[in-house]
Amino acid sequence: MAMAFVITMRNKGATKEPWLNEVVPAQHSGQSSFTHSHIKCRNASHAQACYGIAAERLVNVNRWHEYAGQATASFHLFDETGNAINRPVQKNDYLRINIPGPDNPDADGGDWVQVVQTGEKSAGEQQLTFITVQSCGNPLTSTTSPTHFFDQPATSTFVIFRKQLTIMAAVFGRNEHPNRQSRNLITRIRNWFVYLGAQLGLANLQWKALTHGLLHEKEH
């Protein structure tokens, strides 16, 4: 897709971007995370083309596993009434995430998040597409408690951001706490260990594979 693939960008440099500050939720408590990849394009037309491909991949959630590669989590999109769907993601949709690790006993193996915000922005030499999700209950049941290893305040914001010839794919995690709400002791233990693994870097490996795949030249 682009001339070079680079995997280094400082968190503080990214969060100084006004557009990113507008769409990434504020960090209030718990842990935060930032995973990213970026590419440098040849010229403006090339950058616009690369951005378009990456942005289309970002909203095609059902194919994230293909872009990230084997041994990564799979993502399944559901509409706000709980029906499995195959279309670009929209606000109020749900994502069921099946991580490569211990299944969630409270939700037939999956962890659930809801899309709380999506959007696009373009002006001059900048373009942005983003999706923000928050941990939530399983929409296929009557439960309202979060069915995810993170508790309710936690969000993840997925972005494709172009500034001139540089395109960044990134995942911003905010307000990450382990979910201890389940009545099932096994679930609470499982959530703690998955949370601990995420803080030790396993989540970073997952998101690094995804951000790489969203920008990588190979068509899937």
Q: What pLDDT digit, counting tens, does each position of 110-165 carry?
A: 889 999 999 999 999 999 999 999 999 888 887 778 888 888 889 999 999 999 99
pLDDT at residue 7, as a whole number: 35
Place of tokens 């990564």: 72
- Reply yes or no on whether the pLDDT at 44 is more than 60: yes
Q: Which position has the higher pLDDT, 207 or 104?
A: 207
- Reply yes or no on whether the pLDDT at 61 is more than 70: yes
Q: Which position has the higher pLDDT, 189 or 38?
A: 38
- List the chain domain ranges: 4-215
Q: DSSP E strands: which ranges in the chain? A: 4-6, 31-40, 74-78, 94-98, 111-123, 126-135, 155-163, 166-176
Neighbours of 118 (CB within 10 A): 20
CATH level 2 (architecture), domain 4-215: 2-Layer Sandwich (3.30)
Average pLDDT over residues 70-97: 93
